[in-house]
């Protein structure tokens, strides 16, 4: 019989990040012990008092209340300072644990680190993380140590980790990759010409970085479809008259890892020079392992996924359609305006993941396992051949960027998201909106080398 503990774990595990939960738990102790609530102010008595009593208490009759206010004013700053100091001590301790984990990983025994024993699922760290310094930056923005009723939250710690990663990787950064929806533009929309992110992306390219969008959207070899999604960005590149050398630092990798395009000047149908995308043949950048994936094996895997998705749609009465592509299959709302509940989407993801893993285990003796990705896209679910881990590794090999010099920015880092896998091959920033992407790029830009177009 399935225990309630196992049921609760299954429901919650995919919504939690173990490292962030660990840090949040550590910071809760000083919050409870040192972020004391404000002392109550005692109101003066409402009953009339005699002149003799008034003289003894003073003309106002509320000296006790003034004393309470003075006590609070005297204690408030030391209390905040003490709380900040304890938060910083904890962040420094985690910083040291991460560095020990990195040393053990370099020796090939990451499981021997103290951090791994406490958080067994902890990912790789390709740079040190200056968490103490990053916490000071976050505290200056969000007054974390001054809060008395709201403890350090998931988002507080996520932002601290982002800032620490930006500070650490800036001197060595060579390749930065981005998710599309909810990272560079709102879900289901396109890159607009007036996006505040465009000048920041151009600044990254002028600093000598390769910039790439790694997206699940898959249009086999069709540059026009991607140009439509990025029309505003490409028009701004055109308006800025960026050089060919600069444009060649911008890439789009679609279908997680399957379709690579390079930016540059090209002729349109009217014979005019415009900024667009050029498809790069797989043989020039895909490793032998990817080129060895057989078409019939891919289709058989997608058949199994499609069958499970159809069963999920039927069993939960979802208003959704199944969409099949050459290297992907998914479900999308059957009409505009329909919103599918997150829990239903997660059910489709987790059940399809389980079904595909069972299928690959049963057929392990007859055919190699093809990597796949099943993810919740916010209002849809897709199964893609390959994943963003492979996508980032392809770009690293093609452009000559090491894991410690690569940064991926995305919003889907829970286990049901398709950015999650990139943690194994590069440094990452977990954001939740294009506005947060703008914020982290503004943190990064001043730390990069001078422009070297």
Catalytic residues: 179, 181
Cα dist from 179 to 145, 256, 392, 419, whole Å: 32, 10, 11, 8
414 with 14: CB under 8 angstroms?
yes
SS (H, E, C) 130-177: CHHHHHHHHHHHHCCCCCCCCCCCHHHHHHHHHHHHHHHHCCCCCEEE
Structure tokens at 102: 């990195």
The beta strands (E) that lie in 192-310 are given as: 210-214, 250-254, 259-267, 273-280
Alpha carbon distance 242, 248 (integer Å): 10
DSSP 13: G
Alpha carbon distance 394, 259 (integer Å): 11
435: Cβ contacts below 8 Å, ≥ 6 apart? none
Alpha carbon distance 443, 406 (integer Å): 17
Residue that the structure tokens 């390709």 belong to: 126
State which H helix or E strand residue 333 sits in.
strand 328-333
Q: Which residue, 64, 78, 65, is CA-closest to 36?
A: 78
Structure tokens at 95: 């910083």
């Amino acid at each position: 019989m399935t225990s309630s503990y196992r049921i609760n774990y299954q429901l919650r595990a995919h919504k939690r990040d173990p490292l962030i939960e660990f840090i949040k738990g550590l910071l809760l102790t000083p919050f409870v012990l040192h972020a004391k609530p404000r002392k109550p102010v005692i109101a003066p008595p409402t009953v009339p008092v005699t002149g003799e009593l008034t003289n003894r208490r003073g003309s106002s009759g509320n000296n006790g209340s003034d004393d309470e206010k003075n006590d609070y004013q005297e204690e408030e700053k030391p209390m905040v300072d003490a709380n900040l100091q304890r938060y910083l001590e904890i962040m420094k301790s985690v910083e040291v644990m991460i560095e020990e984990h990195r040393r053990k990983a370099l020796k090939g025994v990451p499981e021997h680190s103290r951090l791994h024993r406490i958080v067994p699922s902890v990912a790789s760290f390709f740079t040190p993380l200056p968490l103490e310094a990053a916490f000071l930056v976050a505290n200056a923005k969000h007054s974390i140590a001054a809060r008395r009723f709201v403890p350090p939250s998931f988002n507080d710690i996520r932002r601290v980790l982002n800032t620490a990663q930006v500070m650490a990787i800036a001197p060595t950064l060579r390749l930065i990759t981005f998710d599309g929806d909810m990272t560079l533009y709102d879900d289901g929309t396109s890159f607009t010409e007036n996006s505040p992110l465009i000048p920041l992306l151009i600044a990254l390219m002028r600093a000598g970085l390769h910039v790439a969008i790694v997206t699940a959207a898959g249009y086999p070899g069709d540059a026009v479809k991607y140009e439509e999604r990025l029309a505003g960005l490409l028009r701004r590149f055109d308006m800025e008259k960026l050089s060919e050398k600069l444009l060649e630092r911008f890439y789009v990798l679609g279908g997680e890892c399957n379709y690579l395009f390079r930016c540059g000047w090209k002729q349109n149908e009217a014979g005019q020079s415009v900024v667009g995308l050029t498809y790069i043949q797989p043989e020039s950048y895909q490793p032998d392992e990817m080129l060895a994936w057989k078409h019939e094996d891919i289709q058989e895997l997608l058949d199994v996924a499609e069958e499970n998705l159809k069963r999920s749609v039927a069993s939960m009465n979802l208003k959704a359609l199944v969409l099949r592509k050459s290297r992907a299959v998914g479900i999308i709302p059957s009409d505009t305006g329909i919103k599918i509940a997150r829990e239903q989407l997660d059910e489709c993801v987790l059940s399809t993941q389980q079904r595909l893993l069972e299928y690959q285990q049963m057929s392990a003796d007859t055919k190699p396992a093809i990597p796949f990705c099943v993810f919740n896209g916010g209002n849809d679910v897709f199964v893609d051949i390959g994943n963003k881990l492979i996508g980032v590794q392809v770009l690293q090999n093609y452009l000559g960027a090491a894991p410690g010099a690569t940064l991926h920015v995305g919003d889907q880092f829970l286990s049901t998201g398709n950015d999650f896998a990139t943690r194994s091959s590069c440094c990452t920033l977990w954001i939740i909106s294009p506005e947060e992407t703008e914020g982290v790029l503004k943190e990064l830009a001043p730390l990069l080398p001078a422009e070297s177009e």
